[in-house]
């Protein structure tokens, strides 16, 4: 939200277009994914044209992950089960949102961002600025 005034509520606007869904990648810690409107108004699960989120999450035991897999009708392979157990993430978002990137260095920064003081609506009291480099 570059240039937004301090204290302004954010996250409800957009550029006026949506992006077609590309559902499938898991939500491990460090995942970069597209936000979207949920519910019956968006059955195709199209993503917002400008909103994204970084996954922090927590670690899951195989039994905990099995519960999510059953309720969402997902099959996790051994590597994914291991990664959710060691790195963590948010498996309840799997198969519902488009993942388009991942943090490849500095995962500790996600924990630092998550620890900042927030105002109502979860906007940080002090803006958190990011520099992003796209790798191809």
Average of per-residue pLDDT across 56-79: 96
Within-domain flag for 129: no
pTM: 0.86
* Domain count for the chain: 1
pLDDT at residue 91 in the model: 98
In a domain, 46, yes or no: yes
Q: Is residue 132 part of a domain?
A: no
125 in a structural domain:
no
Strands 99-102 and 31-34: antiparallel
Q: Within 13 A of 13's CA, how many CA atoms are on the CB side?
A: 6
Residue predicted with more confidence, 63 or 8: 63
Domain that residue 93 falls in: 18-114
Residue with tokens 């799997």: 94
Residue 10 counted as domain residue? no
106 is a domain residue:
yes
84-124 residue pLDDT tens: 999 999 999 999 999 999 998 899 999 999 999 998 888 88
pLDDT of residue 7: 73
């Amino acid at each position: 939200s570059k240039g937004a005034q301090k204290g302004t509520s954010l996250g409800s606007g957009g550029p006026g277009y949506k992006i077609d869904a590309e559902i499938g990648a898991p939500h491990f810690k460090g995942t970069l994914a597209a936000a979207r409107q949920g519910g019956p108004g968006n059955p195709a699960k199209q993503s917002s044209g400008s909103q994204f989120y970084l996954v922090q999450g927590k670690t899951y035991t195989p039994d905990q992950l099995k519960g999510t897999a059953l309720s969402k009708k997902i099959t996790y392979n051994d590597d994914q089960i291991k990664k959710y157990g060691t790195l963590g993430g948010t498996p309840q978002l799997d198969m519902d949102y488009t993942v388009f990137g991942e943090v490849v260095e500095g995962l500790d920064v996600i924990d630092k961002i998550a620890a900042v003081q927030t105002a109502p609506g979860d906007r940080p009291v002090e803006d958190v600025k990011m520099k992003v480099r796209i790798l191809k």
